[in-house]
Amino acid sequence: MTTDLPTLYAAVCAKRPELAVPSLTVDTNPPGWSLCGSWCGEHFAAALILSRWVEALPTRCSLHHLEADHARPEEWQVRNLNQSEWLRIPYAPTPLEALAAFYLGETA
């Protein structure tokens, strides 16, 4: 995982508490994720977060994957078809970063 997932998750949940995954917490000692008191790995936590955030996208918004080519790396973007300004939402290297940018209101 290329992102600092705990920091990204905390930032989005601070602004949008309804996007938190129920019973998912970040343990600081030892570092890791837990779900309902049981340890779970970062990839499992990321899958739960990704599912929650994609499910919460507004109608006519979607997560897009842009394949890598010789000119650019693989990228992800949330496209908002409700607005003509969808291109202003930034590209990101991971789907979670793209969703976080959308929910945090970041623009390119």
Do 77 and 64 contact (CB within 8 A), yes or no?
A: yes
Burial class of residue 65 (count of CB atoms within 10 Å of its CB; 0-12, 13-18, 19+)? exposed
Confidence of residue 29 (pLDDT cuts 50, 70, 90): low
pLDDT given for residue 84 in this prediction: 61
pTM: 0.84
Q: Which domain holds residue 12?
A: 5-104
pLDDT tens track for 43-56: 899 999 999 999 99
Q: Considering its fold, how many domains does the chain have in total?
A: 1
**Count of Cβ atoms closer than 10 Å to residue 5 Cβ:** 20
Where does residue 3 rank: exposed (0-12), middle (13-18), buried (19+ CB within 10 A)? Answer: middle
Which is higher by pLDDT, 76 or 67? Answer: 76
Closest CA to 14 of 106, 90, 100, 92: 100
- List Cβ neighbours of 2 (8 Å cut-off, separation of 6 or more): 93, 94
The whole-angstrom separation of Cα 98 and Cα 100 is 5
For residue 1, name the pLDDT band (cuts at 50, 70, 90).
very low
